[in-house]
Amino acid sequence: MALLLAAEVRGSIRASQLGGLSLYFFPVEPERLTGLITLEEQAFFETAAFKEKHSIKILPPQSPVATKMTGLCADRLRSGSSFRLQLIQLFFEAFGNELKPEPPKPDACLDAKERLQEFLKQMPAADLLGLDFSELAQMTRCTPRHLSRIFHEVVGASFRERHTELRLTRARELLATTESKVVDIAMESGYQSLSLFNLMFTRRFGMSPGRWRQAHRDNKSSVARRRPIAELARS
């Protein structure tokens, strides 16, 4: 059986004492997959955790996802990039048709809002960092004023707000996975000013980049010492 739980879900798992239990836990953070998912998929995951039908998914043992997961967990070599990519693929498969893209409409039939929606469906979220507002206006054939209005309607935030969120998400990922200096991470995330980066990061995450990195490491060390349900076997 495969069980998908949003991070906000609380509860307990009960099992019979008559047999053995092996429980494998793999966390997936969609906000850290900006290079793999589109802006539309990112928006889906931002709201999915707060919807009852998405926050808990129980997939029976005979389901394709559960069957593949069982095979992966049976492999003693549960590590490496190939293994992680297969886990991510199963994660997306678990949502089935909810993430299945619709066939694109002919461009000539689309109005400005629909052109923007189609564009965001196909663009990886991280690619938006490489665009400025005027370039997006040209690509969607909109005036800047009209694009500003429809972008907020479609995305739920202004272009600048979404750009900032993606930059800070990128910075947080670099803080968690590299040893780069904070000033270098600021530059890599599109900030020319370290003080502005520190201000924006602190405003968004409640602490400075340096403190966030240390807190993240302390939390990972604590989880590793406890080994809660990451890999639990009981007989």
| Whole-number pLDDT of residue 7 | 74
Cα–Cα dist 27/230, whole Å: 9
| Whole-number pLDDT of residue 208 | 95
H or E stretch covering 140: helix 133-140
| Whole-number pLDDT of residue 27 | 79
Q: Which of 175, 171, 169 is nearest to 217 (CA)?
A: 175
| Whole-number pLDDT of residue 60 | 85
Cα–Cα dist 216/173, whole Å: 11
- pTM, entire model: 0.60
Q: Which of 139, 184, 190, 181 is nearest to 162 (CA)?
A: 190
CA angle 39, 174, 209 (to 5 degrees): 105
| Whole-number pLDDT of residue 51 | 72
Q: What is the dihedral of CA 151, 157, 160, 162, to 10 degrees?
A: -100
3-class SS of residue 59: strand
CB 5 within 8 A of CB 28: no
Q: Which of 105, 69, 101, 99 is nearest to 86 (CA)?
A: 69
- Local confidence pLDDT in tens for the 235 residues of the chain: 787 777 777 777 777 777 777 777 777 777 777 777 777 777 777 777 677 666 777 888 888 888 888 888 877 666 777 888 888 888 888 877 676 655 555 554 578 888 888 888 888 877 888 788 998 888 888 899 999 999 999 888 899 998 999 899 889 989 988 899 999 999 999 899 999 999 999 999 999 999 999 988 877 665 555 444 334 333 3
Q: Hey, how many other C-beta atoms are within 10 angstroms of the C-beta on 196? A: 11
| Whole-number pLDDT of residue 235 | 33
